[in-house]
Amino acid sequence: MTGRIDILGAGAFGTALALTYARAGHAVTLWARDGAEAMEAARENARRLPGHRFPDSLRVTGDLGALTADLALLALPTQSLGPFLSSARLRAGTLVSCAKGIDRDTGLGPTALIARHSGATPAQLTGPSFAVDIAAGLPTALTLACADDRIGAAVQDRLSTHHLRLYRTTDVIGAEMGGALKNVVAIAAGAVIGAGYGDSARAALIARGFAEMARVARAAGAQEATLTGLSGLGDLVLTCGSEKSRNFRFGMALARGETLGPGVTVEGLHTAHEIAARGDLDTPLADAVAALADGRADVATIADALLNRPLKPE
């Protein structure tokens, strides 16, 4: 089923989704905070996703008033989502967040931010996906989470394409927590590789990281089965195993005393600080990532502390 779709946020991921849906026959409007005129003239996003020409059915605008579709995808960072929604007056009846993280100011996930600042039905699109793969039309599967299963089924049908397959769930908390928490583990995995500890250590960290993810998600009210799906385990495997992941690269850079440069969003860092600050659960990896990023401990000290934790059953 084709129709009109608005996508807000012209980063790599938002642009990749816009390309996908325009190629599938939808009339797509991509909103960019800046640079809209240049992209519209060049017919590509040369800064964020070069080499992918815009189909004729994709137009770019910097005018929020030009967004009139009943379905809009929010490809905006979690930390800017609340302030944006509180000032924007979007017309869409369904708003689908594509962000992965927990808002540090409120402790809320993206759909709760949508509900707080908008009268639209909130949904979450998440799972193992790199923008370059989606833009290239490579097979990808994602999770669409919506508490209203009737609306979720309609959105699933509308947003699924030949190359982009969506599964749906009503466990919004589980889908959001999986997408947020895997970024924390990805930073830790990147630090392991950056410090030269090897693939065996990374595999062990991923397994223990998944156990921590499940523990935190259950405490938030998630269904544990959701964490074993695309939005949890699937995304964890992808993000911890590739330098295409910004969170993984950030962890590598931390371990090596380097930086990623300005303008790179690392959602896992915010999530790690949010989880570590709560202090009500055993979260050694989130605590370690927060300490490493703040400069309170180096990788060697953290590794020694983790390896010297009391032995216990798995």
Question: Catalytic positions, please?
Answer: 182
Q: In angstroms, how far is the first alpha carbon of the chain from the final one?
A: 47
Q: Is the pLDDT of residue 303 over 80?
A: yes
pLDDT value of position 259: 83
Determine the average pLDDT of the residues in 25-43.
97
CATH-assigned architecture of domain 180-308: Orthogonal Bundle (1.10)
Taking only Cα atoms into account, the Rg of the chain, rounded to an integer number of angstroms, comes to 19
Domain segments of the chain: what residues? 5-170, 180-308
In the annotated binding site for sn-glycerol 3-phosphate, the residues are 100, 127, 129, 182, 235, 245-247
When pLDDT is averaged across residues 124-132 and rounded to a whole number, the result is 98
Instruction: Return the pLDDT at 151.
Output: 98
Which residue ranges make up the annotated binding site for substrate? 100, 246-247
Query: pLDDT at position 263, please?
Result: 67
Numbered residues of the known binding site: 9-14, 33, 100, 127, 129, 131, 182, 235, 245-247, 267
Q: 5-170 with 180-308: one CATH topology? A: no
pLDDT on residue 194: 97
Query: What does pTM read for this prediction?
Result: 0.95
If you classify domain 5-170 with CATH, what class do you get? alpha beta
Alpha carbon separation from 164 to 19, 121, 151 (Å, rounded) = 12, 22, 19
Rounded alpha-carbon distances, angstroms, from residue 151 to 127, 155, 170? 19, 6, 10
